Amino acid sequence: MSLTIDANTVKQLRDKTGAGMMDCKNALKESNGDLEGAIDFLRKSGAAKAEKKGSRATKEGLVYSYIHAGGRLGVMIEINCETDFVAKTDGFVELAHNLAMQIAATNPIALDKNSVSEDLVAKEKEIYTEQAKSSGKPDNIIEKMVEGRLSKFFQENCLMEQAYIKDSDKKITDLMTETIATLGENIIISKYQRFAVGESDS
C-alpha cells in the first residue's frame, strides 16, 4: 500500500526548509510521512550538493539583529541567499539567529582566516616564535609549535573556524554547509557588527 502525502505536510516541510516541492514529497515518502525525519533526509541528501552551490549569486537575504544581556550587548548580521523565498524560511531565520548568538558570545575578530590582517598574523607569529624559542627546542620543532598556536588563534578568533556554541563537535563552517544542503541554496555571511555598552571599537 503506497503512502499518501498530504499537501499540508508538504507545505510545512517547504516552509521549514525551502526545498522544492518534489524534493519535499520524496523526503516525506522516504521518512514514512515523518516531518522531522524528512528534514533529516533533506539535510543528508543535500550535503553532497552544498559545495556545488558555492559559486551561485546571493542577492537576497536579511539583516538580523540580536539583543542580549538586558540591552547591553547586541549584534547585527547580514546573511545572503539566492531567493527571497528561502530568505523567509524558518531555517534561514534560525541560522541568522544562531550566528548572531555565536558572535555575541565569542566576539570574533574576523569572518575567516583570509579576513585577518597580515600585520596581525605577523605580530602573533612573532609572539609565538619568541615564546617557543624560550623552550630551547630545535628550529623544526619551534616551527611546528608556532603553526599549532597560530591554528588555535584562528579557531578562537575567526567566526567560520570557531566551534559552534550549541554543538562543540562542529564548526560554524559545518553549520553553514549543513544549512546550505538543507535549504538548497548558496548562503554567505556578508558582514556583521557586535556592540557592547562600555566597549570601544577594536
Residue 124 grid cell: 602573533
What pLDDT sits at residue 103? 97
Q: What is the pLDDT of residue 201?
A: 60
In a domain, 1, yes or no: no
The verdict on 130 and 36 lying in the same domain is no
Q: Are residues 142 and 174 in the same domain?
A: no
Tell me, yes or no, whether 29 and 99 share the same domain: no
Q: Is residue 13 part of a domain?
A: yes
Query: Crossing angle for the helix pair 35-47 and 172-183, nearest 10 degrees?
Result: 110
Q: Which residue has the higher pLDDT, 102 or 178?
A: 102
Supply the range of the domain harboring residue 123: 117-156
Same domain, 12 and 103: no
Segments of the chain assigned E as strands: 60-68, 73-81, 163-164, 167-171, 188-196
pLDDT tier for residue 164 given thresholds of 50, 70 and 90: very high
Residue 152: CATH number of its domain: 1.10.286
CATH number of the domain residue 13 falls in: 1.10.8.10
20 plus 63 within the same structural domain: no
Question: Domain check: are 146 and 68 in the same one?
Answer: no
Query: Given pLDDT bands bounded at 50, 70 and 90, which one contains residue 63?
Result: very high
Identify whether residues 18 and 88 lie together within a single domain.
no
Helix 21-30 vs helix 7-17: angle between axes, to the nearest 10 degrees? 110
By the 8 A CB rule, do 27 and 14 touch? no
Number of domains in the chain: 3
Would you place residue 154 in the very low, low, confident or very high pLDDT band (cuts 50, 70, 90)? very high
